[in-house]
Amino acid sequence: MTKPEIPGTYLFGIEDSRQGFALNSFCASLTSVDDRKRFLDDEAAYLGRYELTAEQRQAVLDRDWVTMLDLGGSIFYVYKLAMVDGKSMQYLGGVFTGMTTEEFQAALEAGGRHFG
């Protein structure tokens, strides 16, 4: 069975993981206290350790969260980068849905967003 397509939804699969392997590996490295510090000291130099594509590298530097996911980032890995920046999953939810963090949180507190 091939991977289903569900609008507005990422279903992180084998091809995504292959494409995003270096990007996700970079994000995974941020769980180490020492590597977090090295990254924050010099982002561009630290990214040089990983074989990111030019687009992936730019998306990280720009904190372009949607592009990171489009280029094979897994939300669970990309979220680690967001946490290094002090951003929450609700902040990312706002970015993905065109809302402010407060609007996104309010939508959740009102029972969540409904589809179909």
The Cα 55–Cα 49 span in angstroms is 16
The Cα 32–Cα 30 span in angstroms is 5
Phi, psi of 115 (to 5 degrees): -135, 140
For another protein, which residue of 49, 63, 80, 87 counts as binding (CB under 8 A)? 80
AA letter at 58: Q
Shortest separation between residue 65's beta carbon and another protein, angstroms? 9
Asked if 76 is part of the footprint of another protein (rule: CB under 8 A), the reply reads yes
The Cα 63–Cα 72 span in angstroms is 15
Asked if 37 is part of the footprint of another protein (rule: CB under 8 A), the reply reads no
Shortest separation between residue 7's beta carbon and another protein, angstroms? 8
The Cα 108–Cα 34 span in angstroms is 35
Six token digits for residue 76: 């669970």
Positions in 3-22 near another protein (CB under 8 A): 3-4, 6-14, 17, 21
Six token digits for residue 65: 């969260």
Asked if 29 is part of the footprint of another protein (rule: CB under 8 A), the reply reads no
Residues that bind another protein (CB under 8 A): 1, 3-4, 6-14, 17, 21, 24-25, 27-28, 30-33, 36, 69, 74-77, 79-80, 83-84, 88-90, 92-93, 96-97, 104, 107-109, 111-116
